[in-house]
Amino acid sequence: MAILDLPLVANDRDMVGFRPFKALHHFKNLIADKEDTKQVFYIVEALKGRKPFDQAKAFIQSDKGRDFMIREDGNPISEKLDDHAAWADCGPETLAHHYISFMEREGLTAAGLAEESYDWRPREERPEDQVEWYLCRLRDTHDLFHVLTSYGRDALGEAALLGFSYEQNQNLGVKFIAYAAARQIKKVSGTKAPIYAAIKEGRALGKAAAKLAHMDVEKVMREDINDVRARLNIGEPVVYRECLRILESEGNTEAELLAPQAA
């Protein structure tokens, strides 16, 4: 069935989500086993609230949203992003070149992130509606967020990017993980770096920027990455970089900070 033929919100979609004790339970599980990334999805689901759905519905019902649904029907963003050959003619300063370099360096694929989410909740158990298309778009553009914001995949980079993402989509679960991860970094490292300030900076940058999940991916991939950042008003993560410098000077290694890495 075409995306436009699906209901905006399926009858079986749970639109409520504020269960803090459930979120805390799953965060403890995540700390106990940093490889159990399914716990992240449980946390986000437990604290999602209504704001992300309100934003999803507003975008879906916009002209841009409907245009994207038509163009992406049967050709999801994850497949376009993983088709590196399609961007082979893009120059060295384009977003496509930086994205492909990042994904190959890190050994990542957009499809891989999607499969992790399906390990948590299989495709056949998900509501069939237009909101699901939007939520998948948020998920599949996560690594584009990394490239555009300059946040790395180190523990603090992931946490600060979650701060950025919270201001973009208003999911309280994302905010919870960002600060819980920052607390864990402080606890594990004993660092003097302003870790919480890096999360605050991420939130400020996310609030100031345009909605990255609403960008025309096919268009921006072929543009100069600095032009894209300027047009979308994506600022520099200065505090984050200073924190990395301090952490390194203190002798903290990424291996010691992996407890919050699953965020």
pLDDT tens, the chain, 263 aa long? 899 999 999 999 987 778 888 998 998 898 888 678 788 889 999 998 889 999 999 999 999 999 999 999 999 999 999 999 999 999 999 999 999 999 999 999 999 999 989 988 999 999 999 999 999 999 999 999 999 999 999 999 999 999 999 999 999 999 999 999 999 999 989 999 999 999 999 999 999 999 999 999 999 999 999 999 999 999 999 999 999 999 999 998 765 564 434 33
Q: Are 86 and 80 in contact (CB under 8 A)?
A: yes
pLDDT on residue 101: 97
In a domain, 169, yes or no: yes
In a domain, 222, yes or no: yes
Count how many domains the chain has: 1
| pTM for this model (two decimals) | 0.91
In a domain, 145, yes or no: yes
Token pair, residue 80, equals: 């376009």
pLDDT on residue 172: 92
Calculate the CA dihedral of residues 108, 109, 115, 117 and round it to 10 degrees: 70
Q: Are 210 and 233 in contact (CB under 8 A)?
A: yes
Domain encompassing residue 55: 50-257
pLDDT on residue 257: 62
In a domain, 123, yes or no: yes
| Cα Rg of the chain (Å, integer) | 18
| Largest pairwise CA distance in the chain | 56
In a domain, 5, yes or no: no
In a domain, 35, yes or no: no
pLDDT on residue 256: 57
In a domain, 25, yes or no: no
In a domain, 6, yes or no: no
pLDDT on residue 253: 75
pLDDT on residue 25: 92
CA distances from 245 to 54, 242, 248 (A): 39, 5, 5
pLDDT on residue 148: 98
Q: 129 CB contacts (<8 Å, ≥6 apart)?
A: 6, 7, 8, 9, 10, 13
